[in-house]
């Protein structure tokens, strides 16, 4: 389990800074036509659990349901969303920060209307900008509040400074876990950090690569039980994905399974999650807290990394 004394002072500074900015509890959605895009960070305690595959296929499914979706690939140094989408971004956020590119220039169109922004090293470069240039970038990135309903952040794995910064700045967070004991332990460690520093009052949980529904339910219950017993945070299970050979083949072919096999068990599971995100928890007329939207996300992220 996570040992607070073993983590850097810098990580604690990022988390506490988020708290001082008044972002707790985390926003839980917005009214229809409300202030900006829904910013959802997708994280995992360890790598190899299918986090990026979930991001890509969930984005495509949301887009197929009429939502405007942008993926922000923030897995710095290991950007895989572009690989699964089968595209190669010519520009990243760095080119917007230090080059001559506008925000529209670095947005790459993908399947089904999904758009991709590669973070590259650009997110971390926010810390090195002067206040005037930083504000200019924040203003340009508010483009997403006008042009997207969902901004999905594909973070790295683990509880590094970078990952926690993105998760702290996002409005909502999805944690991906598999039935493997190491995945369960690492997912708990991540949720423990979020609870300890009161980053979010709730996390959404997705169980991936379950052998069957029984194993998926059992895995989710293990997380819910230990979190409920020891932590002050709510776990909301939003779905699970069965082990499916079509998923593995789709990844090898760089063809998102939600496009080519939408009626497969995995495709149907993703569809249920997408419908839940649109209608299940966030009905029109719900409370819309201050500080939501892409502009707020980027603004807070700049402060945390600065």
Q: 18 pLDDT exceeds 50?
A: no
| Domain tally, the chain | 1
Q: Any idea what the CATH number is for the domain that residue 259 is in?
A: 3.40.50.300
The pLDDT assigned to 249 comes to 83
Q: Which of 105-119, 128-142, 253-267 has the least mean pLDDT?
A: 128-142
Rounded (10°) angle between helices 9-20 and 161-169 = 10
Q: Range of 203's domain?
A: 4-305
The pLDDT assigned to 22 comes to 36
The pLDDT assigned to 306 comes to 64
Q: How confident is the model at residue 147 (pLDDT cuts 50, 70, 90)?
A: very high
Q: 80 pLDDT exceeds 80?
A: no
Q: Measured between alpha carbons, how far is 155 from 166 in angstroms, rounded to an integer?
A: 7
- Give the residue with greater pLDDT, 106 vs 80: 106
Q: How confident is the model at residue 129 (pLDDT cuts 50, 70, 90)?
A: low
Q: How confident is the model at residue 27 (pLDDT cuts 50, 70, 90)?
A: very low
Q: What is the mean pLDDT of residues 269-279?
A: 94
Q: What is the mean pLDDT of residues 296-304?
A: 80
| Whole-number Cα distances in Å, 177 to 44, 54, 121, 209, 252 | 7, 11, 27, 9, 21
Q: 289 pLDDT exceeds 80?
A: no
Q: 126 pLDDT exceeds 90?
A: no
Q: 1 pLDDT exceeds 90?
A: no
Predicted model pTM: 0.84
The pLDDT assigned to 198 comes to 86
CB neighbour class for 140 (10 Å; exposed up to 12, middle 13-18, buried from 19): middle
Structure confidence by residue, pLDDT tens digits, 203-215? 999 999 999 999 9
Q: How confident is the model at residue 84 (pLDDT cuts 50, 70, 90)?
A: confident
CA-only gyration radius of the chain, Å: 18
Pairing of strands 172-177, 69-73: unpaired
- Give the residue with greater pLDDT, 104 vs 303: 104
């Amino acid at each position: 389990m996570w040992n607070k004394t073993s983590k850097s002072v810098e990580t604690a500074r990022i988390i506490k800074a988020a708290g001082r900015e008044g972002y707790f509890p985390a926003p839980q959605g917005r009214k229809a036509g409300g202030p900006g895009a829904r910013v959802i960070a997708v994280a995992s305690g360890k790598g190899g659990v299918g986090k990026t595959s979930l991001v890509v296929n969930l984005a495509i499914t949301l887009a197929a349901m009429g939502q405007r979706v942008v993926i922000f690939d923030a897995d710095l140094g290991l950007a895989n969303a572009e690989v699964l989408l089968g595209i190669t971004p010519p520009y990243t956020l760095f080119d917007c920060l230090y080059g001559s590119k506008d925000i529209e220039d670095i947005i790459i169109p993908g399947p089904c209307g999904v758009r991709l922004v590669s973070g590259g090293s650009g997110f971390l470069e926010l810390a090195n900008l002067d206040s005037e240039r930083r504000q200019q970038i924040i203003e340009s990135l508010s483009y997403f509040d006008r042009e997207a309903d969902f901004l999905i952040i594909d973070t790295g794995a683990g509880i590094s400074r970078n990952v926690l910064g993105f998760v702290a700045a996002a409005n909502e967070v999805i944690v991906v876990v598999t039935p493997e004991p190491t995945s369960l332990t690492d997912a708990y460690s991540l949720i423990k950090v979020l609870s300890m520093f009161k980053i979010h009052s709730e996390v959404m949980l997705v169980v991936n690569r379950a052998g069957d529904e029984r194993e998926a339910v059992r895995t989710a219950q293990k997380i819910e039980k230990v979190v409920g017993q020891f932590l002050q945070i709510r776990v909301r299970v939003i779905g699970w994905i069965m082990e499916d050979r079509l998923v593995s083949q789709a990844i090898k072919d760089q063809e998102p399974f939600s496009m080519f096999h939408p009626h497969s068990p995995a495709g149907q599971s993703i569809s249920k999650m997408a419908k839940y995100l649109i209608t299940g928890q966030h009905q029109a007329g719900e409370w819309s807290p201050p500080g939501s939207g892409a502009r707020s996300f980027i603004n807070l992220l700049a402060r945390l990394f600065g």
